[in-house]
A and B are shown apart, each in its own frame.
Chain A
Amino acid sequence: MTEQHAQPHERRILGTELLWAFGVGVLIAAILSVVVFTALTRDINPPSNVERIDPKTLHLSGEFAEQNLGTTVARDGGVTVRIITTQFMFAPRCLVVPEGRRVTLRFASPDVIHGILITGTNVNTMVVPGFVAQVYSEFTHSGDLLMPCHEYCGLGHSEMWATVRVVPESEFKPDLDGRVACAQR
């Protein structure tokens, strides 16, 4: 191939490559714009609230002591669920949440890294010792859902799961000090 003859030909190849790169860039921009649109209109973000807490003294007093766990309804109607993820169980192991209302779930781990998801919903977060993991969501269907620990936390990892009971608004009745518990222990 002589020098002159190669010029236009080589340029045409690079032209097609750049056209392809431009097309792919447009598709990637489309996907990213869907992400940005969702974030702006429905407040959808990955759960992250960078809140530090000492895992060694969780059980003593403060937000994550044993008596303070489970679902509580504040005076302004805000539903908050506090859950401890510890080696090989959730405390409490059964949660009640209302359907259709925004619920804030707060997790803390006193020992190793855990992680949770609730089947059939977008609730998902890692629970790292030293931080409070906070996820808020609206549950769109009622029924009993499964909340397993989805991060390896030791030999009992497979048995670590809890039940999330999504009840319609009519059945979600907090008691005197705003707590709602599952029927069975």
Chain B
Amino acid sequence: MMPTDQPSIADDPLEVVDQVDEAALAEVMRVVPLGAGVLAGAAVALLVIGYLVIYLLVFLPRGTVG
């Protein structure tokens, strides 16, 4: 495929309407994934801790299975 400089889909009429201005976006992007990382990380850590709690306190005391 010839690497020509294609217009990005942003120029597509349906896509262009977006009230986000680039300067503010660049400013925000300097810090962005921190909040998401902390929130999502806490949620996933909670899931794994919950798994270990149920595994140790409910599953093991009920005896082996095989």
**Residues of chain A whose beta carbon lies under 8 Å from any beta carbon of chain B:** 1, 9, 13, 16, 20, 23-24, 27, 30-31, 34, 42-47, 102, 120-124, 135-140
Q: Closest residue of chain B to A15, judged by CB?
A: B33
In the complex, which of the residues B33, B37, B41, B52 contacts A34, with contact meaning CB atoms closer than 8 Å?
B52
Q: Shortest beta-carbon distance, B61 to chain A, in Å?
A: 6
A30 touches B48 (CB 8 A): yes
In the complex, which of the residues A27, A120, A122 contacts B48, with contact meaning CB atoms closer than 8 Å?
A27
B65 touches A123 (CB 8 A): yes
Q: Check A16/B33 contact, CB under 8 A, given A23-B41, A27-B45, A34-B52.
A: yes
Chain A hits for B60, CB < 8 A: 42
Interface residue tally on B, bucketed by range? 20 to 34
In the complex, which of the residues A20, A27, A135 contacts B65, with contact meaning CB atoms closer than 8 Å?
A135
A135 touches B66 (CB 8 A): yes
B24 at the interface (CB under 8 A from A): no
- Can you spell out 15 A-B residue pairs with CB atoms less than 8 angstroms apart? A20-B33, A23-B44, A27-B45, A31-B48, A34-B52, A34-B55, A42-B60, A43-B66, A121-B63, A124-B65, A135-B65, A137-B64, A137-B66, A140-B61, A140-B62
B44 touches A27 (CB 8 A): yes
In the complex, which of the residues B37, B45, B51, B59 contacts A122, with contact meaning CB atoms closer than 8 Å?
B59
B64 touches A43 (CB 8 A): yes
Q: Check A138/B63 contact, CB under 8 A, given A16-B33, A23-B41, A31-B51.
A: yes
Chain B hits for A23, CB < 8 A: 41, 44
A20 touches B64 (CB 8 A): no
| 7 extra interface residue pairs, beta carbon distance < 8 Å, beyond A9-B29, A46-B65, A139-B63 | A20-B33, A24-B44, A34-B52, A102-B64, A135-B65, A137-B64, A137-B66
